A and B are shown apart, each in its own frame.
Chain A
C-alpha cells in the first residue's frame, strides 16, 4: 500500500510537465536515443491522416523527437494505407513482416512485428482511432523514459478531472478495467492496481523490454505486458502519464465481452505459468480503486468480505423445523 502511494507520487506524470520539446529533444540527443512511433491499423482512413501529419510536423519537422513513423497494417480494405503513405508515413503490411512466422489477425501481432521492423531504442505505440490527436500522445509517453533511465514502460491514462474544483470524483479506466481488471489485480497483483488505465492502447517501451516479453495477439496484450514487466523488473520500471482527454470510438457491450474473455484467458495463463492456479494465494479482502482530489490521485481501499453461508439443509435448526433427520 505504501509502495503504491510512493509510486503514484514518483511515477505518475502529466503531459504538461514535458511540453518543453526543445529540452526534451536535447536530452534525447544527449543519450543518443532513437524513437520509433508505431501505429497499428485496420481500416482507419478517417483518422490516420491527421495523426501522421501532426506527428510528422510537430515531432519530426519542428522538433526532431521521432526518428521513425510507421503504420503497421493488418489488411485494411479501405484507403488507410494510401492516406498514411500520402502524408509520409512508412507503411508496412503485417503479413509481410517475418513471413516465416505467418500472419495472425490482431493488434498484438502488429505490435510484436513492429519490434522486428522498426529501428528505435524506444517504440511508442499509438492507436489510430484517436479523434483528438495531439503531439502529447507521443511526447507525454517518451519523456519519462528519456529523463528517468530506470523507467522502462510508460502507459497512458486519460480523462483528467476538473482541477479547478475541490470535488472528489472516481477516476479510472473503462468498463472492462473497473469491472474485470482492477478486481483481478486487487486479488493477485495488488501493486498493479496503481495503473489507472491498464488497458489504454498508448504506451512507450524500451526495446530491451519489448524483445524480452511475449505478445498475445488479441485483447490480452496490454494485461500481459503489465504482469510480465512487473514480474521481471518490478513496479519501479513502470510509469504512467496523464494525457488528458481521448476521444475515440465507443465500443458495444458485446465487444467488451469479447475483450474480457480474451483478457481472462491471458490472465489465467499467466497465473498458471507462475504456479498461482495450482497453489492459489490467500485471496485478498481488499479492492483497490482510485479517486481524484484536486490534482492528485489517491487510492481508496474497500475491504470486501464475501462470506458464505452453508446450504440451509446443513443448518440443524432448519432441519428440525422442517421435520428432517439430524445430520
Chain B
C-alpha cells in the first residue's frame, strides 16, 4: 500500500483493520514484555530502558531519555516539514512488588495496568513496525514519547517537562490510552484535585479528626457549583484513624473540583481556604490543603477539522463514539497551544484492579483508527492549526 502520494482516501481505512490484524502478535508481544515490567509513577526507569532498547532496535532517530526520564525517539518523515507527537504514559498505579505477570487467552489479555496504560505503550512501540509492514511513509516527523510521572500526584510531570523543553515543538499531538475504544478527548476542564488533612493535638483536644473532616465535607457541600459551567465537586477518598476504640488523631480527604471555567475553579479554591480557616479555629486542630493535580480548561472545539476527521474515521470503522470529550490529559497541550486528541485502543474492564483485562479483537480497529488518523493529519497537517 503506497500512501505517500495524495490524500489518503477514507474508504481505505476500513481495510486497515484487516491488514493490521495480521500483525497482532507484534502488538501483543510488546504488550506482555512492557507490561510485565513494574513502573509505578517515579520508578519507571526499567520500563523506560526497555522502551529505549526497542526504539534503538527499530532504527529510530534521536533515541534518548530527557532529564526527567521520558523516552523519546523520532521516526523521520520523508519531507520533515513538521512533527506530530505520539505519546503514551508509561506509569501504572501499582507498586513494584505487585504481581505483574500477564496471561494471554484467545480473546483477552489479563494483567495489572494492561489497559492503563501498557497497551498505549505497546502501541507506541509497535506503530513503526506496522507502518513499515503496511508500506506507509509519513511526510512529517513522528515524535514518539513514553512519558513518565503522569498519574495522580505526579500530575503529568513528564509530559509537561517535555512540552516545556522540547526544541521540536509538535504541530499536533495524539495521546494513546488503552481504553475504551471510541474514546475521543479533545478538551480539558479546569480541575483542582486536593487533599485536606486534619490533625488533632491530643494535649489540647479529644476531638476526632474524622468528625472534623465530616464538618468540612458539610461545608464543601454548600459551595456554589455553577451548572452552566458544568462545575462539579467529587469526594474521592477518605481515610483516617487507627482503631475503632479511640478518636481519630488524623484524617484526610481527597477531592476534585472541575469546571469549564478556570476563574470558577480559582474562586472555589479561595472559598475552600476560607472554610478551612474557619474550622481551624477549633482548639488543637490543624488543617492543611495540598494540591494533588491541576489542569486548565481549553482544547479544540467539536467543529475543529481534527475532531471531525477523527469522528469520520471512527464512523468508517464502526467504532461507537464515547460521549465524554474532556480529559485532563489534554491540559498540558492547552498550555502550549498544541492541538491534541486522546484516543482509546480497545475495550477493557476492571481498570486499576488486579483482574484488569483488555479484549484483543477490537485492538485492530483501535490501531486502524490511529494509523488512519495519522495519515489524514500527515497529509493535511495545516488543518491542525485551523
Do A and B form a real pair? Answer: yes
| Interface residues in chain A, defined as those with a beta carbon under 8 Å from any beta carbon in chain B | 21, 45-47, 49-50, 53-54, 56-58, 61-62, 79, 82-83, 86-88, 131-134, 247
Given contacts A54-B33, A57-B29, contact A83 B101 (CB under 8 A): no
Kindly list chain A residues whose C-beta atoms are within 8 Å of the C-beta of B129: 62
Closest A residue to B101 by beta carbon equals A131
- Alpha-carbon separation in the docked complex, A58 to B30 (Å): 9
Kindly list chain B residues whose C-beta atoms are within 8 Å of the C-beta of A58: 29
- Alpha-carbon separation in the docked complex, A132 to B101 (Å): 7
Given contacts A61-B23, A61-B25, A83-B106, contact A247 B33 (CB under 8 A): no
Closest B residue to A49 by beta carbon equals B104
Report whether A46 and B32 are in contact in the complex, using a CB–CB cutoff of 8 Å. no
Q: Which of B25, B28, B103 contacts A47 (CB 8 A)?
A: B103
Closest B residue to A55 by beta carbon equals B29
Kindly list chain B residues whose C-beta atoms are within 8 Å of the C-beta of A247: 101
Kindly list chain A residues whose C-beta atoms are within 8 Å of the C-beta of B23: 61
- Alpha-carbon separation in the docked complex, A54 to B122 (Å): 13
Given contacts A49-B104, A86-B106, A131-B101, contact A54 B32 (CB under 8 A): yes
Q: How many residues of B contact A (CB 8 A)?
A: 17
Q: Which of B26, B57, B103 contacts A50 (CB 8 A)?
A: B103
Would you give the shortest CB distance from B316 to chain A, in whole angstroms?
Answer: 27
Given contacts A62-B129, A132-B36, contact A50 B25 (CB under 8 A): no
| Pairs A–B under 8 Å by Cβ, sample size 29 | A46-B103, A49-B104, A50-B28, A50-B32, A50-B102, A50-B103, A53-B28, A53-B29, A53-B32, A54-B32, A56-B25, A56-B29, A57-B25, A57-B28, A57-B29, A57-B30, A61-B23, A61-B26, A62-B26, A62-B57, A62-B129, A79-B105, A82-B106, A83-B104, A83-B106, A87-B25, A88-B25, A132-B101, A247-B101
- Alpha-carbon separation in the docked complex, A47 to B111 (Å): 12
Would you give the shortest CB distance from A63 to chain B, in whole angstroms?
Answer: 9
CB-CB contacts of B8-36 with A at 8 A, as 1s and 0s? 00000000000000010110111011001
- Alpha-carbon separation in the docked complex, A45 to B30 (Å): 20
Closest A residue to B103 by beta carbon equals A46
Kindly list chain A residues whose C-beta atoms are within 8 Å of the C-beta of B106: 49, 79, 82-83, 86
Given contact pairs A54-B32, A61-B26, a sample of 4 additional A-B residue pairs in the complex whose CB atoms are under 8 Å apart: A47-B103, A57-B26, A58-B29, A87-B104
- Alpha-carbon separation in the docked complex, A247 to B102 (Å): 12
Report whether B25 and A49 are in contact in the complex, using a CB–CB cutoff of 8 Å. no
Closest A residue to B53 by beta carbon equals A19
Closest A residue to B29 by beta carbon equals A57
Would you give the shortest CB distance from A278 to chain B, in whole angstroms?
Answer: 50
- Alpha-carbon separation in the docked complex, A87 to B23 (Å): 11
- Alpha-carbon separation in the docked complex, A88 to B101 (Å): 22
The winner among B32, B57, B104 for most chain A CB atoms within 10 A is B104
CB-CB contacts of B51-89 with A at 8 A, as 1s and 0s? 000000100000000000000000000000000000000
Kindly list chain A residues whose C-beta atoms are within 8 Å of the C-beta of B101: 131-132, 247
The winner among A53, A83, A86 for most chain B CB atoms within 10 A is A53
The winner among B25, B26, B28, B32 for most chain A CB atoms within 10 A is B25
- Alpha-carbon separation in the docked complex, A83 to B360 (Å): 13
Kindly list chain B residues whose C-beta atoms are within 8 Å of the C-beta of A131: 101
- Alpha-carbon separation in the docked complex, A56 to B23 (Å): 10
Kindly list chain A residues whose C-beta atoms are within 8 Å of the C-beta of B26: 57, 61-62
Report whether B105 and A49 are in contact in the complex, using a CB–CB cutoff of 8 Å. yes
Report whether A53 and B36 are in contact in the complex, using a CB–CB cutoff of 8 Å. no
Q: Which of B242-268 contact A (CB under 8 A)?
A: none
- Alpha-carbon separation in the docked complex, A50 to B26 (Å): 11
Kindly list chain B residues whose C-beta atoms are within 8 Å of the C-beta of A62: 26, 57, 129
- Ranked 4 nearest A-B pairs via Cβ: A49-B104, A57-B29, A57-B25, A86-B106
Closest B residue to A134 by beta carbon equals B33
Kindly list chain A residues whose C-beta atoms are within 8 Å of the C-beta of B28: 50, 53, 57, 87
Would you give the shortest CB distance from A229 to chain B, in whole angstroms?
Answer: 33
